[in-house]
Structure 1
Amino acid sequence: MILEIADFRITPGQQAAFEAAVAQGVDEAIRHAKGFNGYKLNRCIETPERFVLMIYWDTLEDHTVGFRESPAFTAWRALVGPFFAAPPVVEHFELASKS
């Protein structure tokens, strides 16, 4: 399992609309992608314009090739992109240990 973490800085005052756009984007564009296994969206307490989106994928390629090279990615970015105050930082993680 791969964890994608996307760190977003959005336009001030747009938190509720961004949260709605993420939910819509997941439902319409990401949920049906091969290898998608769920997501969590977290809002920063200290910096309310910062969000961290965590998406779980079966493989790195499910995200970087299967999803990102599909029309669904274009649809996703059309929904959430207008809220970006800066380009998101996206990185991928694998489990190192667990209790």
Structure 2
Amino acid sequence: MSPVLEHAQLAVRPSAEAAFLEAFAQARPLISQQPGFRSLRLSRCLERPHEFLLLVEWDTQAAHEQGFRHSPQYPQWRTLLHHFYTPHPTVSHYQDALPTT
């Protein structure tokens, strides 16, 4: 089974981008130590610098939704990051539709 890719487009309050990046650096170890976590990538939009794209690769969707979101670390993740978002992001999960080459 191929891994699951979590996709979240993060709209950060304008002028809070630097504080968000600092908080994200603190929050990153909270997710990266979770069972089923594979990798994380945070990218910044060139046209709209207050927008970020978060891509997290998991073994399964359950590793994210039932694992991380119900872990003891998730409340700290939420406290560090969620107050930056306007609006709160929609999170979707994807899996490869074609074999990798």
TM-score for the superposition, normalised by structure 1: 0.92
* Cα RMSD, aligned residues only: 1.0
Report the equivalent of 2:43.
42
Q: Deviations over 1:14-58 (max 9, x none)?
A: 11221221121111x111111011100011111111111000100
1:1-99 correspondence to structure 2 within 5 Å: 1-27=3-29, 29-97=30-98, 98-99=100-101
Pairwise CA distance, 1:74: 1.0
1: distance between equivalents of 2:4 and 2:80? 24
User: How many corresponding residue pairs?
Assistant: 98
1: distance between equivalents of 2:84 and 2:46? 18
Structure 2 SS opposite 1:68: helix
2: distance between equivalents of 1:38 and 1:19? 18
2: distance between equivalents of 1:59 and 1:2? 5
Pairwise CA distance, 1:71: 2.0
Percent identity between matched residues is 38
Structure 1 SS opposite 2:91: strand
Moved over 4 A (4+): none
